[in-house]
Structure 1
Amino acid sequence: MLSITQIFPISFLKTWIQSQQHIVIRSYAARKGTRDRKNKKKVKTVVEKIGFIPHNQRNREKLLAERPSRKFDDSWQRKPMDDIYCAKYYQWKIYPFQEAINCHKETHHPEIYNQPQAPVKALIELYMQGEKKTKFIENFNRICAVQHKFDHGEERKIIAFAKDIDSQQLAIRAGAQLTGGVELIKEIQNGKVSLQDFQFVIAHPDILHELSTLRGLMKKKFPNPKSGTLDIHLDEVVNRYLNGINYTAVKDEYEKDFGIIETIIGYLDMDPAQLEENFAALVKDVMVMKPKRDGKFITRTLLMSPPSGEQFKIDHKLYLEENDTPVAISEEEIDKQVVL
């Protein structure tokens, strides 16, 4: 391997070394504005802080597009002209109530399902829009009074408050488990009686002032006129809460303007006329929750009887008076009634 002295002459190397000693190294500043232009070219990634989003609000538009709507409207379809037609191209047939019950009795005959005492369920679809288009009715639970009792399969214990002894006795005769006045309120405050043992609390308006001391313990169970737990006729209230139809309107997670009620109104071995009266009472009670707006509240009513999957459409308008349009009581009106 050749050395550098063999490649370049010594005189050349001396001259090159002397020239390198005269080189001055300087650091010149960049031209004005160069750093600013470079900084502008840099793309800043801004991370947006997103709070907690409920599961039913995530990718809402995508879910609504993929998920079939639960709202049903066949008003634009034709009505069938005879007994033979393709059901999906025509409106649902509306059955008289008793005919629908007889149809269910045929399917529950001993030769088919063999359940002649099967429960009869009412399926009520609701339009849950409130007074404003952007507001919707929240889920609500009510108990509807019925004339014809049936085994609802629930344990319902009731405690009643009243100053008047006669009202207390009427509540006991109607089926209340415990009644009392100011003394009963003191026993609850001392821990001798637990409100958790009772599903419903009813009261007479004459003891409402003393009962306000238990508002923190009762919370949603506190008697009020909107739910019907604050009334002067305690025997009627006890009868309604013991034997009435307990139903809940549930709003859809994604379609806020759609709600549904599914509840038992009786059994197939009952008289169809009695079942019809229970159904009429249920429809009227649901209409009490109608908001102060125009348009429909109940959109469709169906009759079911498990285990059969058949559903028969019923015209609920037959059980409502033409001029009778019940409206839900506003909170201000409720407060006025309580004060009075």
Structure 2
Amino acid sequence: MNTLSFRTAIHSCILKSLQNKLIRSTFETTNLIQTREYAARKGTRERKKKGKVKVEIQKVGFIPHNQRNREKYLASRPKLKFDDSTMRDPVDDVFVMNYYKWVVYPFQEAVQCHRETHSPEIYNKPDSDLLVTVELNMQGEKKNKMVDNFTRIAPMPHKFDHGEERSIIAFSKTPENQDIAREAGAQLSGGPDMIKQIQNGQLSLADFKFVIAHPEILPELVVLRGLLKKRFPNPKNGTLDVNLGTAVHKFLHGVSYTATKDEYEKDFGLIETRVGPLSMDAKQLEENFAALVRDIYTMKPKRQGTFISRCILWSPPSPEKLKVDHVAYLEDTESTKSKGKVEDEDDEKVEQVAL
């Protein structure tokens, strides 16, 4: 090949490379984007606008450390309902309680055990209160319905200092019943004349914590229904009773207790109250405990199964807790049913009189 043809070949190659670069640069610099707009279906844009939900950020104030992530804590904590039916019975006096069933003590034996720990050689608290923890199954007649929280006063056969100041006003027509209520401890007892004094403003019902009445004065007492509201005498809670002396004694010396459902386990309820000091006679403490258990059992819903899961006795400052048998103090099923029927009939009578 001669030099002329070689040079022309080189020049042609250089020209082709320059042309390719020029074409590539022009494609890179020019934005040739083809767009097409199609008509949307009728109502599509409006539907998309409605689908866009505006997120509102709520400002939360300061939350204490013990309340943060409360729902996660309640969901992950161990269950409060206690069931040791699958565990073994202890074979001797020394055993690890986490792996065996709780020992069920007779009531008086449990009281004696607490007295030993509160002797002068150990805690030196012979007059400490004997407390009772009652665990309840709050499931109602249906599985998805639970028993609401309730507050009651259980009558105590043997009175003790419960630490509360209670004032009682009693209504009755006959002077005999008025004297009985006054002797039982009512601060004020009267009849229709006292109702007129309340209507005129001479007496104030706010000065009295409990209002108790005899059924014979119920028609005259209806005029105070607007003032009393939920405190209006009712046979269901014991404020409307034929025996005024018994009713006054119950609300004056009885023990107040509240059944509270757990926030997460709705079917678990708890009651904590007292039945007397350790220095009281063991038999009297047992009778007070029996009255408490029977009063709680009156709130049992109409379903099969147990309402009271277990009862535990304890006395501060000792951390020792002893399980006691409560089934022996419960009334027969037939008697509780008949009692409930009588209460329902009394409630219907009260409603008829009020109307």
User: How many aligned residue pairs are there?
Assistant: 306
2:202 aligned with 1:192, yes or no?
yes
The equivalent residue for 1:128 is 138
Cα distance between partner residues in 2 of 1:41 and 1:184: 70
Of 110, 113, 116, 1:106 maps to: 116
Deviations 1:68-110 (A, max 9, x none): 3221111111111122222101111111111111111111111
Q: What is the SS of the residue equivalent to 2:133?
A: strand
Q: Which is worse superposed, 62-71 or 151-160?
A: 62-71
The equivalent residue for 1:258 is 268
Cα distance between partner residues in 2 of 1:148 and 1:37: 79
Q: What does 1:11-160 correspond to in 2, within 5 Å?
A: 31-33=37-39, 39=45, 44-47=51-54, 62-160=72-170
The equivalent residue for 1:326 is 336
The equivalent residue for 2:302 is 292
Deviations 1:131-157 (A, max 9, x none): 111111112122222221111111111
Which one-letter code corresponds to 1:300 in the other structure?
R
Deviations 1:29-69 (A, max 9, x none): 965426989959978432589xxxxx9xx989744422332
Q: What is the SS of the residue equivalent to 1:283?
A: helix
The equivalent residue for 2:23 is none
Runs of 5+ unmatched residues, structure 1: 1-28, 50-54
> Percent identical across equivalent pairs?
56
2:288 aligned with 1:282, yes or no?
no
What is the Cα deviation at residue 321 of structure 1? 4.2
The equivalent residue for 2:8 is none
What is the Cα deviation at residue 302 of structure 1? 0.5
Cα distance between partner residues in 1 of 2:43 and 2:173: 85
1:38–1:121: structure 2 CA closer, same or farther, 3 Å change rule? closer
Contact 1:60-1:254 within 8 A present in 2 as well = no
2:235 aligned with 1:225, yes or no?
yes
Q: What is the SS of the residue equivalent to 1:263?
A: strand
Contact 1:131-1:293 within 8 A present in 2 as well = yes
The equivalent residue for 2:347 is 335
What is the Cα deviation at residue 235 of structure 1? 1.0
Contact 2:236-2:347 within 8 A present in 1 as well = no
Deviations 1:145-195 (A, max 9, x none): 222111111111100011111111111111110011111111112221111
Contact 1:226-1:329 within 8 A present in 2 as well = no
Cα distance between partner residues in 2 of 1:170 and 1:199: 19
Contact 1:200-1:221 within 8 A present in 2 as well = yes
Q: Which has the higher helix share?
A: 2
The equivalent residue for 2:176 is 166
1:324–1:151: structure 2 CA closer, same or farther, 3 Å change rule? farther
Which one-letter code corresponds to 1:336 in the other structure?
E
Cα distance between partner residues in 1 of 2:43 and 2:333: 76
2:221 aligned with 1:211, yes or no?
yes
Q: What is the SS of the residue equivalent to 1:105?
A: helix
Q: TM-score, normalised by structure 1?
A: 0.82
The equivalent residue for 1:249 is 259
Q: What is the SS of the residue equivalent to 2:265?
A: coil
The equivalent residue for 1:268 is 278
Which one-letter code corresponds to 1:158 in the other structure?
I
Runs of 5+ unmatched residues, structure 2: 1-34, 57-62
The equivalent residue for 1:9 is none
